[in-house]
Structure 1
Amino acid sequence: MDNLFQTSLFAGVTVSLVAYLLGMLLKKKFKLAILNPLLISIVLTIIVLVVADVDYDTYNKGASYLSWFLTPATVCLAIPLYEQWTLLKKNIAAVALGLTAGVITSLVTVLVLSVLMGLSHEDYVTLLPKSITTAIGMGVSEELGGYVTITVAVIVVTGVLGNILGEFVCKIFRITEPISKGLALGASSHAIGTAKAIEIGEIEGAMSSLAIAVAGILTVVFASVFANFY
């Protein structure tokens, strides 16, 4: 099996896509939040690599092609935002304050938990960009001296949890305003949360798309400041 991954340019891509397809089928059949397609694909891919004794570098030679679509996929999120541009202009103050509050809350949470758990400075800055999209988070982590690979894993886990629990949390706290729900999902769980927001509604999806970009920029600014606190 290891030879197959080394000789085939598309073995990694194939495994990733098949795993994600199985995740989608499971989600469609059982309709359970825990059966998130991304989470299922991660678990299945890891199982395949462990059973086949394939190291990550070998797998990534073929799977890296998927990364090429990360940037254009993120850019496409601007479409629902454009469609709700009038609504955005009417609520610009609330949007700005809400996203700023969301970013600061995320950073403060990481700071408090890092102090309580006695993490090192490197561990701390690794976790700071947990709630922003991978493309930005990797750069922030590297700039601050964190462990980039762990940052990527934390970002994915944060997104999956937001996708699974976001709507449930909104119901608990009786958050029904579409703009608020979209901003919350985008600011806390980036693109993966935005996928859930789009499922909920057009306004939620548009606001969540906006939150990805703005929260990313704000995190770049504030993370450099928070990095000096611990």
Structure 2
Amino acid sequence: MILFFLCICSIEVLHAQNLQLKFVPFAGKQSLVLMDSTYHTALNEPITFRNFLFYVSHIQLTNDKGHTVYLNNAYYLLNASDTASLTIHLPVKPQSIVAIQFTIGVDSIKNVSGIQTRSLDPMLGMFWTWNTGYIFAKLEGNSPVSKAPAHYVTYHIGGYKHNENALRVIQLNISKKQWVHQIDIGADVLAWFNGKQPLSIQEHPICHSPGKLAMQIADNYAQMFHIIHVE
């Protein structure tokens, strides 16, 4: 029991020494509550969310000298229903950071590299087929305006080929120069509907394949991130 306690404490100390990214799901200005709350899109269409997941990869930091801090690439699957998954412990110490960049999705090499493990394990439900590859982001719910069975709303967004690439690179700037231990990043699910291409649930309740609609939705959710707090 004592050994187990010491191991847990050692892990916590190790994480405390790492720079952390904490993603916080929102629906507009409200904290996202799955299953029990109804929200409205910019087109005033009501929706209740059941699942919200997305991949973060290719994280880069820019320090206060303007130098890019490259990290060994890793793939993180963030799941709004799993609080632990929403915090990423980066393999770098706290430092002075002025910007962070990351990619939403899984790059083409990983899409064609055969069976993956850990966060890229197909058993996690974020993989289509060897031809279409990984689902980069998933949003599921129900809406009375949906014409799909049981009023489902399901958006499984992916696509890595040249004419259907849904990978999106996000860059967030830190306005105040300071030593950074943790960056809290908001992820607003309503941006899926309210971005560059207003998305009507009634017209498009389902998107389950790469293509034009998937890329438009990816353009939308690329706008869902903002820095909430830095400490």
Which range, TM-score by smaller chain? Answer: under 0.3
Q: Which has the higher helix share?
A: 1
- More contact order relative to length (CA 8 Å, sep ≥ 6): 2
The TM-score with structure 1 as length reference comes to 0.25
Q: Which has the higher strand share?
A: 2
